[in-house]
Amino acid sequence: MRIIKYLRSVQWESDVCIESHILSTNENTVDILNIWVCGGKPMNQSVIKYVVPTQCREKIGEIPRVSKFLFHEWRKNASFTPVGMTHSIEIPFYTDMCGMGGAMSKGACLDLMERQRTELIGGQPVLHRLKVEEGILIVVVNIYDLRFGETTLEIGDMVTCESTGEFAEDSKSFMVRQRIRRGDDMICDGVVKLCFVREGKGVALKL
């Protein structure tokens, strides 16, 4: 299983819907994108490879396929390291961010990266305008080279999340190099690929 979007916290007894879309198939396996949705928002996305028993193969056709554009972008490897616009924030390390051994939990790392990535592209007002006025969604397609360090933290330590983003040549995707650190100590880093989608098709965009 490859996680491409992480679980956010939800309220107890919330209604969660799981949407499944086929990415690719071969003779006896299928790659399926599963999306956990709560309150109309995707909370978790993962790609899982299933071995399909012979008696179930005819049922595969009942699962919708993901759009060709997103499938194509998902299959691509990271083609470059972004060196464009940069944004950073510094916040204190809180109790609810603490994971095993005093390190920042993986969920807290990914939450902070998403928060900071949103600020890089203009914040919630830009996301709202694109969705409501232009019908454009910004989709996390993949995370490359994701690494977690072993830095232990004390409550109140200041941590920095910095992001550098750059458009692909066709402006239909946006690569973001993200890093969380305390001073020079790496906590987490990776490259996130975002795509701009309207009605399942990639669209060129300039932020």
- Which span out of 9-13, 32-36, 94-98 was modeled with the highest average pLDDT? 94-98
Lowest model confidence (mean pLDDT) among 36-40, 119-123, 136-140, 158-162: 36-40
User: What is the Cα gyration radius of the chain?
Assistant: 18
Between 193 and 45, the more confident residue is 193
Q: Using CA atoms, how far apart are residues 31 and 45, in angstroms rounded to an integer?
A: 13
Per mean pLDDT, which range of 1-5, 87-91, 100-104 is the poorest?
1-5
Predicted confidence (pLDDT) at residue 117 exceeds the cutoff of 80: yes
* Stated length of the chain: 207
* Dihedral sign for Cα atoms in the order 106, 110, 115, 116: positive
pLDDT value at 1 more than 50:
no
The model's confidence at residue 84, banded by pLDDT at 50, 70 and 90, is low
How does pLDDT run across 131-157, given as a tens digit for each residue? 888 888 888 878 888 889 889 999 999
Query: Between 124 and 58, whose confidence is greater?
Result: 124
129's CB contacts (< 8 A; 6+ apart) are: none
* Three-state DSSP string of 29-85: EEEEEEEEEECCEEEEEEEEEEECCHHHHHHHHHCCECCHHHHHHHHCCCCCCCCCE
Q: Greater confidence, 103 or 42?
A: 103
Tokens standing for residue 58: 């005819």
Predicted local confidence at residue 64, as pLDDT = 58
Q: How many CB atoms lie within 10 A of CB 162?
A: 17
23 membership: H or E segment, kind and range? strand 16-25
